[in-house]
Every structure is written in structure tokens, then in C-alpha cells.
Structure 1
Amino acid sequence: MFKFRHFSIQQDLCAMKVGTDGVLLGAWANGGDVILDVGTGTGLIALMMAQRFPKSQLTALDIDEGAVKQALQNVINAGCQQRVAVLQEQVQQHQGLYDSVVSNPPYFVDSLKAPNAQRNMARHVDTLPYAELMQAAWRLLKSDGELSLVVPFDYRKRMEDEATFVGFFPSRVCAVKTVENKPARRFLLAFRKHPCPVERKEMTIGDDCYRQLTKDFYL
């Protein structure tokens, strides 16, 4: 179990455990009245968004049965079942219209797969190619909505290219360093349907900016 300030995350049924990427995205993404979390896993990001935007209604999707059971358990334990719906469904088939779509997507494209099929599903893009994620996000977002993602540094360009191809424009970029004076290891990316000034920021894990961003969650 991973304990946060206002909820706890059980993760024994889920392939992908609580990690820095999910915490960063859940603390950084913009919200709205209706929010969609794609590939919810344990439900961490959905619960973080529910905490940050207390009047919002959220839908959390995952295709893995174990993840859906885990996320639902965590949502119920947090007392958020009236606001967070957990569904076992592919985003490609999902219907709705959202102010905010968030995703910590699978990111291994060409690397060798592990023996654990559930972990492969969570980590490899076979089940959710970037192009299909972008197409689904475009269809599901309101005209003034925002898509927010977290990706490893070496997949940033691929993700941005797919976003541009479907018509998205970058709205926010945050480079996240693991160690100061080293290149960023991950990026928080946000996209909108219309051109806008791009907000660019940088942070290092553990610095003042990081602590300010995550202070309402970590014990």
C-alpha cells in the first residue's frame, strides 16, 4: 500500500505500481468539470485529480481486468465512488466529451517484452499506439479542452509528432530532471485544439518547484 495525505493506493492487483510519473501528472494536469483518465492503472491519477478539482466528475478507463478491480477498490476506499467511474474499456471505443484528458501512457515501442503479460500490457504501446491515443483524445475533448501526458524524454518527439498530425497544438511543456545539471529524463506535455502561447517550465525531482507541486499529496 502507498499512502498519500488524503487517500491510500493498493497496488497488488496492478502491473504498474505507484511511481513518480503518475504523481507528477496527477499534480500538474489541468482539470475541469468532466475529466477522463486513460489507462488508469491503480486509479492514482484519477484520485489526485478528484482531490484537486472537488467539483469534477471523472471517468477512469483501463483494459486490464486486474487494474480495473484495483482502481475501483481504491476509489471506494477513498470515498470517491460517487464522482469517479471506473470502466474496463478501450479509449478507442469510449464515448463522451471532456474538459480534460490525462494519460500516463504505455511507452515501450521497440524494446524486448517481459514474461509477465499483464506488465507488458501496461508498458508496451501495442494496446494503445500513440496515433490512436491522439485520435481518441481529439474526439473526446471539448473544443477548449486540454490533453495532458507524461512521457520519457526519448519518446517526446514521437508523441509530439502524433499530436501535431491529428491537429493538436502544444500548450504547456515541463522538463523534469532527476538530477540537477543533467538532461531531463521525462516530460509533462499538454496539448489543445487551437494555437496558444506555450508555457515552458523545468523542475528537478526534490527541488522547490517539485515540492510545491506535490505538497498536497505526499505525507
Structure 2
Amino acid sequence: MTHSEAVAALEEAEMHAHLDRRDEAAADDGGRRAAELAEWQRVVQLLAATGGPYDPDADVVGQAELAADRRREEAEQQRRQEQQQLAYRAEELARLGGAGRLDRSVPTRAGDEATRDLLDDRGDYRAAKVGAWLARALADQFGHYADPAARAAAVGLLPVPVRACAAMLAALARTGAPIEDDLEFVGRLAQAAPEATTALAAWLGAAAAVKGGTA
């Protein structure tokens, strides 16, 4: 593209921008039109300075913008893939929970906290089953919760009732009480009064520590 061709393209862009300002239907497209106009102005100035034809490969600014566009597209594609994977995992866990098969045989993975959130946002009753499974995993430190960093991160990833349930289950385990049976009441207690449940868990833990020290 020569300088004169760029000037002609700029003039056409300015004309369209002027017409858009008069056309209310095109008002929503004003941002794109302004960006197009600014880009033609930049190209005209570039060719006026170089005096040669426009070479996209030699346009540092243009190449940087193209690279930025590619990065945004790649990031968006990755985001869509992650959302799809999250939806697949949420459906898998919900199906297992609904069938009563969500137990220690199913190891937790990093990101499962988000699957519970997704089900909860959808109003899926099975979100509670996934939450109870995560609480048990956190209490027993299995699956990805075997990693101390994952357990620490759970504080910011799991809602308070799920963490309270985990704390109570862990405290009951320290007392030596059998917890292999279904302890659904712990989840209900944690949901109804998470702060009280956490306080009770701390008390039980302290009592177990005293008993262990005097044994």
C-alpha cells in the first residue's frame, strides 16, 4: 500500500465515522469505527515518514497488535477449554454423588472445589454431596488434600460450612470415635451453625490432646 492509497483509505474511514455519528443505529459500533480510524491515521503517518509502501511485516506496532490479538485469542480458547473441563468434572461428580458412589474410592483433584461451586450456582442438590465428599477428603487428607499446600488453599476455595464439616470430622477422628459410618448429621450441623461447629471441633481436638497427653 502506498501513501496515497493509505490517505484515500483514511478519508473513507473518516467519512464512515461521520455518517455513523449521524446514524443512531451505528452508535454501538462507534468503538470499532474509532479504532479503525486511529489505525489508518497511524499508517498514513508511518508512510509519510518512511516514504515507501506499507509493509505489514515491517510495522513494529502492527505486529505487536497482531501478537496481542493472538495472545488474547489463545487465552480465550484456553478459558473455554477449562470451563468445558470443569463442566465435565462437575457432571461426573454430581452423577457419582447422586448414585451414592462418591466416596474415598474417588480421589479429589485440584479444582474440584470449583465443581462444587458450579453445581451450587446451578441450584443442583448434588452440590451438597460433593461438598460433603470434599469435607471428608480434607479431614482425612486424601486425594489432592494430601498436599499441605492444597489444604491451606482450601481455606479460600471452600465455603465456611464445608470447612467446618471437615474440621468436625477431623476432630472426631482424633477422639478415636468411629467415623466410617455415614455422618450426615455433621454436614447438617456445619451448614446450620458453621462457627459453632468449628468451635466444637476445636474443643474436641483440645480434649483429645489432653487425653492423649495424660494417657
TM-score range normalised by the length of the shorter chain: under 0.3
TM-score for the superposition, normalised by structure 1: 0.26
Q: Which has the larger radius of gyration?
A: 2
| Bigger relative contact order, structure 1 or 2 (CA pairs below 8 A, ≥6 apart) | 1
Q: Which has the higher helix share?
A: 2
Which protein is richer in strand relative to its size?
1
